[in-house]
Amino acid sequence: MFFLVAALAVAGQVFAQIPKKYTTTDLALSAGNGFAGALSYNKFYGVGKSGKFKVGLGLRFNTYFAGQNDYRTAPASLTSGKASLAALFAEDINSQIDTLRLNKSQVNSLNLNIHLQYAILKKLEVGFNIDAIGVSFGGQQNGTFLARQSDATGRSNHNKTDIKAKPTTLNALLISDSDIGSLNSEIYARYWFNNKWAVRGGLSFLFSEYTAIRNLAFDNDRFRSKVLLPMIAVSYRLR
């Protein structure tokens, strides 16, 4: 018993030496309406004397798979008629929101991301991260266009099953429906078992976006899916 207590005490002292700034690599898996995986490399920097609050930058590779999935009109200029922060609180203009139903989805993205994190206990952190800018790629998919109360172009394409689309190339965080492309964000709690290994659990809010090969209703070719998925991850501290 003495040796066990001594070993735990030593481990606690070692853990307490984790620096205010550190680098991690992280593998996250999410599942629900589809399946997502994310592999990231992240640097965290402590703020203030204690360093409990951290900001960070990272590079994240995301991949998202789903079966049949509905993608709705993406641009904020159509969904609400507002832009940026105003679009976050604006009501949808339902008559301008149509659906591209894809038979399957598979979107990959590589994005720079931003982290905010706080240590509420010595081994327990809570945090939030979000993708800021990057690129997406993936195969072309086939789907059906479903017009709501659309313009003439939309009505003429309603129920057509040969609409082809591919992942939107550019990803950019511009707030709410003003966003472009495929972006991932996470809210989580992370528990460190020792200086090197930790587990994270939380939620992943994933945007994936496709661009149709031709303009459809209201001269729009961009369609977006938003899914909220439970997430589990493993983190490894590199230094």
Per-residue pLDDT for 131 more than 90? Answer: yes
Confidence of residue 84 (pLDDT cuts 50, 70, 90): low
Least Cα distance to 36 among 207, 222, 177, 209 occurs for: 207
**Mean pLDDT calculated for residue range 205-219:** 94
Mind listing the domains of the chain with CATH numbers? 21-237 (2.40.160.20)
Check residue 85 and give its pLDDT.
Answer: 66
Distance CA 203, CA 37 (A): 13
Contact 53, 118 (CB under 8 A): yes
Bigger pLDDT: 182 or 5?
A: 182
Contact 108, 61 (CB under 8 A): yes
Per-residue pLDDT for 6 more than 80? Answer: no
Using CA atoms, how far residue 126 sits from 29, 56, 105, 115, 120, in Å, is 18, 13, 31, 11, 7
Confidence of residue 90 (pLDDT cuts 50, 70, 90): confident
Check residue 82 and give its pLDDT.
Answer: 76
Q: What are phi and psi of 3, to 5 degrees?
A: -65, -35
Least Cα distance to 233 among 181, 173, 192, 183 occurs for: 192
Per-residue pLDDT for 118 more than 90? Answer: yes
Q: What is the mean pLDDT of the chain?
A: 88
Distance CA 201, CA 186 (A): 9
**Mean pLDDT calculated for residue range 69-85:** 87
Express each pLDDT in 11-43 by its tens digit. Answer: 444 445 456 899 999 999 999 989 999 999 999
Per-residue pLDDT for 152 more than 90? Answer: no
Check residue 181 and give its pLDDT.
Answer: 97
Query: Angle 66-69-73 (CA atoms, 0-180°, nearest 5)?
Result: 130
Contact 54, 45 (CB under 8 A): yes
Q: What is the DSSP pairing of strand 141-146 with strand 163-167?
A: antiparallel
Q: How many CB atoms lie within 10 A of CB 217?
A: 24
Least Cα distance to 143 among 162, 167, 159, 168 occurs for: 162
Contact 144, 160 (CB under 8 A): yes
Distance CA 220, CA 210 (A): 11
Distance CA 25, CA 18 (A): 16
